[in-house]
Structure 1
Amino acid sequence: MSNGNSPEDERPFEDVSEEARPSIGRALQQARIAAGLTVDDVSTATRVRLPIVHAIEADDFAPCGGDVYARGHIRTLARAVSLDPVPLLEQYDDDHGGRPAPTPAAPMFEAERIRPERRGPNWTAAMVAAIVVVIGFVGFTLVKGEDDGSTSQVADGATPSAGKTTSPTPTDTKPVDPKPEPSDSAIAAAPQDKVTVQVSATDGRSWISAKDHNGRLLFDGLLKQGQSKTFQDNSKIRLVLGDAGAIQLYVNGKKINDDFRPGAVERLTYTKGDPVVG
């Protein structure tokens, strides 16, 4: 096994027969060496961990964590070394019992439909309404004081003139800014009687799997960079993240700041209340 420092130091596997089709790992290794890349170069460019790259080039797919992740790593590595991934994926399917079954459409649609059904409180509208009420009350008090012939107390130390009341100038009352700075909880507001998990691929792409408390599959597939998925259940959401370092989580309206490593596979469980990693 190469230490990933020099492509010239690596030697391809011995070819038993010229007519024999090369293995997936051998094809990837030969294409990498032909491109003048080391294992470290490929790992850095694809964000696939170094041990997994070594294992795949040795035709050992167990460290990938399943067929879905193995197929994704093969596709990513093939593209990094300018190799067509389609024949390699077909060869992998032939050797491992065929292509995985597609994700059912109904659970995916249901997971996508959850987010608009539940909306958090509109704090901006509530703040604006409160300010309007306060300003209206102040104006009503000033008008009532003028009708009664009483002297109004003016802000900023101004003295009313004799025989008439003084109305406030435009600088007397300064309304509060009705747009407070948004917080993490306001951005991802969620109902307290359910567990709500938002998964966003902010730093890359990752395969994710989500199940509810009954083990029913909500989603199993690739989340591209910039895409988000929201899942909701009455008591529990179970997640598997293929590349946790590329994912940002909001759980029950709170941002999760766990230091996930790039390329790390994480299995997480979240429930109602404060986020708890399972």
Structure 2
Amino acid sequence: MSIGNSPEDDRPSQDRPSEDSTPPTDDGPSIGRALQQARIAAGLTVDQVSQSTRVRVPIVHAIEDDDFSRCGGDVYARGHIRALARAVGVDPEPLVTRYGDGHGGRPAPTSAAPLFEAERIRSEPRRPNWTAAMVAAIVAVIAFVGYTVARGGDDSGDKQQAAEGATPATSKPAPKPSTKKPVDPKPDLSDSAIAAAPQDKVTVKLNAAQGRSWISAKDHNGRIMFDGLLEKGQTKTFQDSTKIDLVLGDAGAIQLFVNGKQIEDAFQPGQVERLTYTKGDPEVG
């Protein structure tokens, strides 16, 4: 599991205003200083922390300097603090609480629509489904041939009856049935399918139990599997051979199941989460 970057540019932190910086308090070092000390104690570099959390290097430096103006808002700042704290092996909650005390407390739940606009990933253009088009064309041709045969039988019967007079009317020949089987739509994976998911694949199910949320899902090649709103009560299931990358616009509204197991993580309402799961990672790391 990893938390990614906010949609900020890579300008150096000294070129941006420092209005969101958090000064040190009498209770101990500041948030950035505490994260920096924990990183050094863990023997990690800024590049290593950035790679494991997907938080860009300039933003890591800015946070360690207590400059949160580059995070893109309080929701992203809290997410970055949690990600960096977990990466360096410290409890993120006291740092998030200290950040809230210095920035107006816990934010109100964020609606999914603004998050959808801010985090939206541009979908790849859909390719035309040539298989479905060919099936439709074959069915149309068979239907036309059957109709022509039926009309031809009617015309010949009528002409014969008009010429001979005493010949009884012939019945219409039935059109030839189509031998082409329709293409069945690919069904969504059920709960039983998740429970019996193969061990050589990763299966992720999302259930919008608490409310609607924007979600994005990608396979291991970076191709988009889904990008849009999941309304309350709806579910989506994704499966890949290697890994699945997720972005949850309102993680507190989502029930998450990985490889048949429910993920019990304290996601808060309005919290944005970027998650990565593999076939060997059934729970949040």
TM-score norm. by structure 2 comes to: 0.41
TM-score norm. by structure 1 comes to: 0.42
